[in-house]
């Protein structure tokens, strides 16, 4: 048998042989009873927990995530696998009465979900364990075989996880880990033996891969430029503290990082004072240092891009209130005021430690500003007024609206995904399981 958890897949022919094994493995994984799938998932969760510090230090080393954030990611991954084990036992169907007219009398429909087929899972660098878990664990829960193509910056974390899954008793042909180049990845996307493609990454790459995917069921989580509205009746201290965390955790390299902050005019100056204080308290430096809040970006190229976008906004009249300095691949947490709505800092996904602060004249104007643009992943609103909350829920086109917290909040159990250019489909364990399965109906004549 071809080795399926390997350090590198070099060519299309090699990848095709791996796909053949994974496709054959689907017959085994799809026939596993629920208790066996659940037990494998629980074993993986326990194994990650037993090696939690090793995983955290590997994540810190591979993608330079601050060690305290890496530890939190590992804790979440443990919870994700446990939740998937529980959900594997909770898949239920429906009984649908059909005696709605004379022709259907005496009949009854039963529904059940079945895995669509082998899944291709493509993951980004920024959460090299838990975003992998959010694709792998639901696939295991429904009994789908899968091939995982991890980010080129973080193959070791994915390989370590793949070996734990194999050791947990998952069928050997039921998983492959395929670190590889873009050319081979595109060949995998085109391969008709996969029934599902689940991709997390940039909008440009995601929509291109969808165009190549053929008849596959496609799930895309593509990021955004998340906005927050701070209303005049908000708890300003909490809003400032959470916005500072949401904008600068992991150097803003989070698809739901706070990027746009709209503040009602009566409290704008006070909020600005509070958030500047919070930004000044952030510890910037070595990700291996236990005290570090903001470390370097993933590469020098990423830091240069962020610096270029900052300069572009400044040239157009914006002002930097704090930070913005660059030392190699490290950007000091930047808070920008007066940026134009159409500049890249406002309109695109900066994926760096930058937030734009803007004054709005009313809650209604703030909601309009939240709703504009090409992205729609998550948004946040700080207010005590439920009327404003309900108005926002109905008028702001995002996959998730977070009330009295930042859009950077995510529970691993909740449905998660975007609209517009932020993607299609939903993750979150149970909701990803639905994406990986299809309903089959059985009609019984009584």
Q: Is 386 exposed, middle or buried (0-12, 13-18, 19+ CB in 10 A)?
A: exposed
Predicted model pTM: 0.97
Q: Count CA atoms within 13 Å of residue 352 on its CB side.
A: 34
- Sheet of 260-264, strand order: 319-322, 334-337, 354-360, 260-264, 227-230, 378-382, 400-403
pLDDT score for 413: 96
Bridge-based pairing of strands 175-177 and 227-230 is unpaired
The CATH number of domain 227-411 is 3.40.309.10: yes
What's the average model confidence in pLDDT over 438-444? Answer: 98
Helices marked H in 151-267: 155-167, 182-190, 203-212, 236-248
What residue segments make up the domains of the chain, in order of their start?
12-222+422-445, 227-411
Question: Is residue 1 very low, low, confident or very high in pLDDT (cuts 50, 70, 90)?
Answer: low
Helix (H) or strand (E) holding 350: none
- What's the pLDDT tens digit per position in 415-433? 999 999 999 999 999 999 9
What's the average model confidence in pLDDT over 248-254? Answer: 98
Helices marked H in 89-229: 130-142, 155-167, 182-190, 203-212
Asked if 138 and 417 count as a contact pair (C-beta separation under 8 A), the reply is no
For residue 105, what are its two tokens? 């009398």
Q: Which of 298, 350, 281 is nearest to 152 (CA)?
A: 298
- Locus of tokens 């709505």: 341
The CATH number of domain 12-222+422-445 is 3.40.50.10490: no
Question: Is residue 56 very low, low, confident or very high in pLDDT (cuts 50, 70, 90)?
Answer: very high
Asked if 226 and 377 count as a contact pair (C-beta separation under 8 A), the reply is yes
Q: DSSP code of 33?
A: -
What phi, psi does 331 have (nearest 5°)? -115, 125
What phi, psi does 69 have (nearest 5°)? -75, -35
- What's the pLDDT tens digit per position in 63-118? 999 999 999 999 999 999 999 999 999 999 999 999 999 999 999 999 999 999 99
Bridge-based pairing of strands 378-382 and 354-360 is unpaired
pLDDT score for 261: 98
Q: DSSP code of 280?
A: H
Active-site amino acid positions: 221, 255
Domain 12-222+422-445 and domain 227-411 have a common topology:
no
pLDDT score for 2: 81
Q: Which of 267, 256, 263, 268 is nearest to 365 (CA)?
A: 263
- Locus of tokens 């990027």: 259
């Amino acid at each position: 048998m071809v080795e399926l958890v390997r350090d590198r897949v070099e060519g299309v022919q090699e990848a095709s042989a791996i796909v053949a094994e994974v496709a054959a493995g689907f017959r085994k994984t799809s026939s596993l009873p629920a208790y066996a799938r659940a037990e494998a998932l629980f074993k993986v969760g326990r194994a990650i927990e037993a090696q939690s510090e090793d995983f955290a230090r590997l994540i810190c080393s591979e993608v330079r995530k601050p060690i305290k954030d890496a530890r939190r990611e590992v804790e979440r991954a443990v919870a994700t696998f446990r939740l998937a084990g529980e959900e594997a036992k909770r898949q239920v169907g429906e009984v649908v009465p059909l005696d709605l007219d004379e022709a259907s009398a005496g009949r009854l429909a039963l529904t059940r979900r079945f895995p669509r087929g082998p899944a291709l899972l493509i993951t980004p660098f920024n959460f090299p364990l838990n975003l992998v878990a959010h694709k792998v664990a639901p696939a295991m829960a429904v009994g789908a075989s899968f091939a995982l193509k991890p980010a080129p910056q973080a193959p070791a974390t994915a390989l370590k996880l793949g070996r734990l899954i194999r050791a947990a008793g998952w069928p050997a042909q039921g998983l492959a880990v395929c670190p590889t180049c873009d050319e081979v990845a595109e060949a995998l996307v085109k391969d008709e033996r996969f029934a599902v493609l689940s991709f997390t990454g940039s909008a440009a790459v995601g929509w291109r891969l969808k165009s190549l995917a053929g008849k596959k069921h496609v799930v895309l989580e593509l990021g955004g430029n998340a906005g927050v509205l701070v209303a005049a009746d908000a708890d300003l201290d909490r809003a400032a503290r959470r916005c500072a965390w949401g904008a600068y955790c992991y150097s803003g390299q989070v698809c739901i990082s706070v990027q746009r902050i709209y503040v009602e005019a009566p409290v704008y100056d006070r909020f600005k004072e509070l958030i500047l204080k919070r930004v000044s308290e952030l510890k910037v430096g070595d990700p291996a240092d236990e005290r570090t809040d903001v470390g370097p970006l993933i590469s020098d190229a990423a830091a240069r891009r962020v610096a270029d976008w900052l300069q572009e906004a400044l040239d157009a009249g914006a002002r930097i209130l704090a930070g913005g300095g660059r030392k190699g691949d490290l950007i000091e947490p930047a808070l920008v005021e007066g940026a134009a709505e159409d500049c890249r800092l406002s309109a695109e996904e900066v994926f760096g430690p930058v937030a734009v602060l803007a004054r709005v004249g009313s809650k209604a104007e703030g909601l309009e500003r939240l709703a504009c643009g090409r992205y729609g992943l998550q948004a946040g609103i700080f207010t005590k007024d439920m009327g404003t909350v309900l108005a926002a829920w109905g008028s702001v086109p995002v996959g998730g609206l977070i009330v009295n917290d930042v859009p950077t909040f995510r529970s691993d159990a909740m449905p998660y995904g975007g609209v517009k250019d932020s993607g299609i489909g939903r993750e979150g364990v149970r909701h990803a399981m639905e994406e990986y399965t299809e309903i089959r109906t059985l009609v019984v004549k009584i």
